[in-house]
Structure formats: C-alpha cells, structure tokens
C-alpha cells in the first residue's frame, strides 16, 4: 500500500547535492563536504534600515518545536514589492494537543502582513503571533506563538518557539508544464527470467536531497533486461569519508508498467547521519508475476503553488476491470535532468480502488517540498482487484458560505476507515476542471455508523458546479 504524500508534508525545501553518474554496476557519488562560513556580528547604525526580504520570494524553514509535534515548518510568501507577507503557512506532523491529534495538519492565512525595516510583527488569524527579523534579503529568523484554530475543536495552544527560514532562488516563475505518461496496456507475458542486476539495470538521473533530518535519494532505473513489469529493488548506502557504512535503505521502484527500455522511478528515504560523505546505489530485479490493469489514464491535470508545488487532476479507468492499489506517481526533475522527488497522490476513491468506467480526482504535494522543478511527468498504475470492496463514506449536510465548504461524513461499516477525507472538484461553465481540494475530516478513524465533520477552505472565487468524492487511507 503506497503511503500518502501528505504524511511527509513536514519536509522543507531541499538542496540537491548529488550529480548523475554513468550507467553501470553500483553507482557511487561523492557528496561535497559542507563548509562553515563564520559569521561576524556587525554593528547597525540607527539610521540604517535593516535588510528587506527578497521581493516575490517564498521563505521556508523549520520551527524548533518539541513535545506537541514531531516536526513543524513555517512558510512566508513575500509580496512583489517586498513590503509585506501575503501568505503564512504552518505545517505540523504528528500533532497532539489537548485531546486533538492529527498525523498532518496545515494551516494557512492570506493577508497583508506589513514588513517595516526588515521586521515582521503580525497576528495571523488561525495560526498565532509572529515576531521575525530579516537578517539578509534571503534569511529570516524569529519566534512564533502558535495558537491554532482547530476545525470544530476550538483553539490549540502550542507555545512559543524559535524558527528560521531561507528564501527560494528568486521571484516566482510559471509552473512547469508536465509531460504525462499514461499506463500502458497489460504487459505481454514472458517466460520466467532469472534475477538481474548490474549493467542490465543502470541507475540514472539520481540526486540526493537533504530535508529536516532526512536524506532523500531519488532517481530512475533503466530496464535493459527482458523483463516486463519486473519487481525492482534499489538499495541506497551512505558512507563517511573513511568508507564506513553509516546508513542503508532498500526501496521498490514503480515498475508495474515498466517494459524493456523504459525508466522506473524510485526514492529512498534515510535518517540523515552525521558526517556522511558519499552514497552508492545498486538495483536488482526479478519477475513480479503481476500485470498492470489496462485502461488507466490521466484525463485532466494542472498544478499550483500551495505554498509548494501541488499537482492535481483526474484519473479514469476505461478498462473492463476494477483497479486495486491505484497510484498516481509524479517524477520531478531539476534543470540538469536529475530526479529530485517522487511523490504519490491521494485519490478520491476508498482504499484506492477504482471501478471500471469510474473517473476520480487525485491530488499530490511534492515531497520533499519543491517549488521550482524544471519539469515533471506523471505515471499511473494499478493491480487486479482480488479483495472485497470497502464501503463508501456517506456525505451529507454540505453547506457553502463564501469560500468555505463544510459538511459531515458517515462511515456505514463494517470495519474501520482510517484517515478519511473528502475531495472536491470544481468546474467552469464549459465543464473544465478548475481546481481539486482535499480535506481530512476531524477524526483519524471511523467505525461503523460513526460521523465526522469536514471543512474545505479557499474555494475558487468563481465556479459553475462541484462534485464531492470520498476516500480513506486504509480499511
């Protein structure tokens, strides 16, 4: 079962450290040693204005929170003239506060939060109090008193914490146009093949990204073997300068639709070890014995900054059979063609089962967060359904006031629905998709006949109609 991208939302903008290596047996890539630049305090004359932030930039960085959440990220979007922050976002992972808990929670507020002489002091509705100083056009630090407004749950006081953030590379540029690769027809059966590795499975376009205590080592495996839909495993190893092994992680590549000559993306996530100097990659494969479901395709798609790049759209099952464990995969590249993240999407379908003839929305965040990919491509794959279909959530009591939608869901049972959510798709007068918004309900699990509330914020200013879809992470 593929984990959702939302569960890793607390990753900050990353720095790509690795370069591509030639194809062949284990890929070894040195990681440049970090060099510390000592800071010398400087006196600032009273009449000299403090640094103003880089206009149009997005600042992101960690909040040094403890106890109530495992990770927290703050993000500030700066106006085009640099005189204010136009959006503030706080993302929390594994939140636990006064009886309210959430695996992932994002709070955003838009406004005109003034920046004067490099200082930002603001009360942000639904988030709390910010007191920050820009120490350079691309760096900011300060404190935040987090007073979260929890949907249907009152206020959650998380205390006051220090934070720091860095800017992106400059003013926003248009979101890149994706290339779409739909699922191929079911692979042709082949005779069982022995396990393969080395030159038949070179690792290409790989990179290393650091993000809040983790290393993300992502890339693509080229299938030069004769295997159709192979089971490909990639092992990432991290070493220090003395060649001592510091960390190791194996992960599977997305290869259910990978025929000979095609690329299968992967991303290994490791705890960041101290003093690492290089990493290596090794791929191996064997026959999977599976075939992808025919007829899956992405029929609509778009992207937006929220505050990092989010990709959304609709996926259709035009085949004759239901698709189980359906997954939409994004492969994001930097300007040098290296893979920098491989997130998967949430689907508006319970437990990711897509019935024959059904079209549902999908939504993904880039993980680790990315705001300036050079390009990306989308894949979709699914397996034959061999289990009982889960019940659907019942959506009722929907109310729209301004740009906020709320309502209830009921889980009819039997069983338990984990991480239930609602997805809304908004259309224009011509039936074109305007936006997809996902919102988790206010309970992490629902047993038979239990209810929960949902709230969807920032609806499009203008739309002709909408559709609601239900989903949950595990049944």
67 plus 199 within the same structural domain: no
Average pLDDT, the chain: 80
225 plus 332 within the same structural domain: yes
251 plus 372 within the same structural domain: yes
In a domain, 189, yes or no: yes
| Mean predicted confidence (pLDDT) in 62-78 | 86
Asked whether the predicted pLDDT for residue 45 surpasses 50, the reply is no
In a domain, 50, yes or no: no
**Residue after which a domain boundary falls, among 150, 167, 184:** 167
350 plus 268 within the same structural domain: yes
- Choice among 110-124, 181-195, 290-304 with the minimum mean pLDDT: 181-195
Q: How confident is the model at residue 329 (pLDDT cuts 50, 70, 90)?
A: very high
Asked whether the predicted pLDDT for residue 411 surpasses 80, the reply is yes
**Residue after which a domain boundary falls, among 136, 167, 198:** 167
Q: How confident is the model at residue 97 (pLDDT cuts 50, 70, 90)?
A: confident
Which pLDDT belongs to residue 268? 94
Dist. CA 12–CA 60, nearest whole Å: 7
Asked whether the predicted pLDDT for residue 139 surpasses 70, the reply is yes
Helix or strand run (H / E) with residue 196: strand 196-197
| Burial class of residue 145 (count of CB atoms within 10 Å of its CB; 0-12, 13-18, 19+) | middle
Dist. CA 286–CA 197, nearest whole Å: 9
Asked whether the predicted pLDDT for residue 179 surpasses 50, the reply is no
385 plus 438 within the same structural domain: no
CATH number at residue 402: 2.60.40.3230
381 plus 244 within the same structural domain: yes
Q: How confident is the model at residue 1 (pLDDT cuts 50, 70, 90)?
A: very low
Which tops the pLDDT comparison, 94 or 79? 79
pLDDT digit string (tens) for 14-42? Answer: 333 333 333 334 444 444 443 333 333 34
| Mean predicted confidence (pLDDT) in 73-94 | 85
In a domain, 43, yes or no: no
Which pLDDT belongs to residue 395? 96
Which tops the pLDDT comparison, 448 or 38? 448
pLDDT digit string (tens) for 340-355? Answer: 999 999 999 998 999 9
Partners of 317 in the β-ladder: 296
In a domain, 52, yes or no: no
333 plus 184 within the same structural domain: yes
90 plus 206 within the same structural domain: no
pLDDT digit string (tens) for 281-318? Answer: 999 988 877 778 889 999 999 988 877 788 999 999 99
| Mean predicted confidence (pLDDT) in 419-431 | 94
**Residue after which a domain boundary falls, among 119, 134, 167:** 167
In a domain, 51, yes or no: no
Dist. CA 417–CA 404, nearest whole Å: 25
Dist. CA 439–CA 421, nearest whole Å: 6
| Mean predicted confidence (pLDDT) in 212-234 | 87
371 plus 446 within the same structural domain: no
Q: Cβ neighbours of residue 38 under 8 Å, at least 6 residues apart?
A: none
Which pLDDT belongs to residue 103? 57
Helix or strand run (H / E) with residue 357: none
In a domain, 346, yes or no: yes
Which pLDDT belongs to residue 92? 78
Which tops the pLDDT comparison, 246 or 292? 246
Which tops the pLDDT comparison, 72 or 150? 72
% residues pLDDT > 70 (the chain):
79
Which tops the pLDDT comparison, 228 or 115? 115
Asked whether the predicted pLDDT for residue 367 surpasses 60, the reply is yes
CATH number at residue 145: 2.40.128
Which pLDDT belongs to residue 43? 39
Q: How confident is the model at residue 406 (pLDDT cuts 50, 70, 90)?
A: very high
In a domain, 41, yes or no: no
| Mean predicted confidence (pLDDT) in 84-113 | 75
Which tops the pLDDT comparison, 94 or 321? 321
At 273 the three-state DSSP class reads: coil
Asked whether the predicted pLDDT for residue 144 surpasses 50, the reply is yes
233 plus 312 within the same structural domain: yes
199 plus 303 within the same structural domain: yes
| Mean predicted confidence (pLDDT) in 399-418 | 94
In a domain, 303, yes or no: yes
Q: Cβ neighbours of residue 146 under 8 Å, at least 6 residues apart?
A: 63, 65, 72, 90, 127, 128, 156, 157, 158, 159, 160, 161
196 plus 265 within the same structural domain: yes
Q: What range does the domain containing 417 cover?
A: 394-471
| Mean predicted confidence (pLDDT) in 62-90 | 87
Split into its structural domains, the chain has a count of 3
Which pLDDT belongs to residue 9? 36
């Amino acid at each position: 079962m593929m984990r959702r991208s939302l569960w890793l939302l607390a990753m900050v903008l990353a720095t790509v450290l690795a370069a591509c290596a030639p194809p062949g047996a284990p890929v070894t890539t040195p990681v440049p040693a970090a060099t510390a630049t000592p800071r010398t305090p400087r006196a600032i004359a009273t009449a000299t204005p403090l640094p103003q932030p880089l206009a149009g930039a997005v600042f992101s960085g960690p909040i040094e929170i403890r106890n109530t959440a495992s990770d927290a990220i703050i993000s500030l979007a700066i106006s085009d003239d640099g005189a204010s922050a136009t959006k503030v976002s706080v993302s929390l992972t594994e939140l636990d506060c006064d009886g309210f808990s959430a695996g992932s929670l994002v709070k955003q507020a838009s406004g005109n939060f003034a920046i004067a002489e490099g200082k930002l002091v603001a009360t942000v509705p639904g988030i709390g109090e910010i007191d920050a100083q820009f120490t350079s056009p691309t760096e900011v630090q300060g404190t935040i008193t987090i007073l979260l407004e929890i949907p249907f749950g009152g206020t959650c006081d998380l205390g006051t914490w220090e934070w720091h953030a860095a800017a992106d590379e400059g003013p926003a540029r248009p979101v890149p146009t994706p290339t779409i690769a739909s699922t191929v027809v079911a692979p042709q059966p082949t005779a069982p093949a022995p396990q393969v590795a080395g030159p038949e499975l070179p690792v290409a376009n790989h990179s290393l990204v650091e993000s809040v205590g983790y290393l993300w080592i992502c890339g693509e495996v080229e299938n030069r073997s004769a295997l159709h839909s192979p089971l490909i495993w990639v092992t990432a190893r991290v070493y220090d300068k003395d060649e001592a092994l510091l960390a190791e992680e194996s992960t599977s590549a997305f290869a259910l639709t990978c025929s000979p000559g095609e690329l299968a993306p992967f991303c290994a996530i490791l705890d960041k070890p101290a003093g690492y100097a290089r990493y290596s990659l090794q791929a191996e494969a064997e026959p999977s014995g599976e075939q992808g479901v025919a007829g899956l395709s992405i029929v609509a798609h778009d992207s937006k900054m929220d505050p990092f790049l989010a990709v959304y759209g609709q996926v259709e099952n035009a085949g004759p059979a239901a698709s189980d464990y359906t997954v939409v995969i994004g492969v994001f590249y930097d300007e040098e063609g290296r893979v920098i993240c491989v997130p998967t999407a949430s689907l508006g379908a319970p437990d990711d089962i897509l019935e024959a003839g059904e079209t549902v929305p999908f939504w993904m965040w880039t993980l680790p967060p990315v705001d300036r990919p050079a390009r990306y491509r989308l894949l979709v794959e699914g397996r034959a359904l061999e289990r009982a279909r889960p019940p659907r959530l019942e959506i009722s009591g929907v109310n729209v006031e301004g740009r906020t939608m709320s309502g209830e869901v009921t889980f009819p049972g039997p069983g338990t629905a984990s991480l239930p959510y609602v997805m809304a798709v908004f259309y224009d007068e011509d039936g074109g998709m305007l936006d997809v918004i996902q919102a988790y309900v206010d309970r992490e699990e629902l047993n038979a006949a239990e209810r929960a509330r949902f709230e969807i914020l920032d609806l499009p200013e203008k739309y002709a109609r909408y559709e609601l879809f239900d989903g949950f992470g595990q049944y």
